[in-house]
Chains A and B, each alone.
Chain A
Amino acid sequence: GIQVEQSPPDLILQEGANSTLRCNFSDSVNNLQWFHQNPWGQLINLFYIPSGTKQNGRLSATTVATERYSLLYISSSQTTDSGVYFCAPGTGGGNKLTFGTGTQLKVEL
């Protein structure tokens, strides 16, 4: 199956800083999503982005499918951004996703 590698595994930021999270995947994909898991365990869909660039407030994401990577940008980070960020590409039918092991982000005051 598809292999997913996320970096960095851990990240500590001061409030207001910017960051870039990277996701590399091993195969061609027809689906890629980014999720945020908050400290209480809830998973929130941030982006559905199999290719191209999208922005939502302070967050943006870019997927370069031909080079098999995706980037998640967080600008002006806030303490509420803390949690784990998962990249999840998908191949084939059924809209199935394979999750990476995540980037653990902590934003400090």
Chain B
Amino acid sequence: NAGVTQTPKFQVLKTGQSMTLQCAQDMNHNSMYWYRQDPGMGLRLIYYSASEGTTDKGEVPNGYNVSRLNKREFSLRLESAAPSQTSVYFCASSERSVQGGFRNYGYTFGSGTRLTVV
């Protein structure tokens, strides 16, 4: 199925443990993003990659690192998990495409990873 695939879907970590969230897209998009969503809030940008080989910080990058492994894959790493990182993490991708003469930067989101840090 075309789209954005995130793994794992659920994870429980102990404080101080590390883990990597994986994200892959098969739409040949250039840009990829990691957001977190906390209860009752909108999504906040952690890191993004405008194109293969580049990464930049978003609004809430502290405690995270990212790797744009290739055009398809963009991973998010928690080096030393903290309870404040308990959240739902979403990966997204986007691209410029010409549709009816208009450029479309519309996002496609993955299904999310629900992370609990105890």
Contacts and interface: CB of A to CB of B under 8 A. Distances in A.
Interface of A: 1, 4, 31, 33, 35, 41-45, 47-48, 86, 88, 90, 93-102
Contacts of B109: 35, 42-45
Contacts of A100: 42
Contact of B106 (A41, A45, A99, A101): A45
Interface of B: 31, 33, 35, 40-45, 48, 50, 56, 58-59, 88, 90, 92, 94, 104-109, 111-112
Contact of B42 (A47, A48, A101): A101
A86 B45 CA distance: 14
Residue from the set A93, A94, A101 with the largest chain B CB neighbour count within 10 Å:
A94
A48 B106 contact: yes
Contacts of A45: 106-109
21 contacts: A31-B105, A33-B105, A33-B106, A35-B107, A41-B111, A41-B112, A42-B112, A43-B90, A44-B109, A47-B106, A88-B42, A93-B50, A94-B31, A95-B105, A96-B33, A96-B45, A96-B48, A96-B58, A98-B45, A99-B35, A101-B41
A95 B92 CA distance: 11
Nearest to A32: B105
A57 B10 CA distance: 34
B58 to A, nearest CB: 7
A99 B108 CA distance: 15
A101 B40 contact: yes
A92 B42 CA distance: 20
Q: Which 6 A-B pairs have the closest CB atoms?
A: A99-B42, A48-B106, A43-B109, A99-B43, A94-B50, A45-B106
A31 B22 CA distance: 27
A42 B42 contact: no
Contacts of A101: 40-42
B19 to A, nearest CB: 20
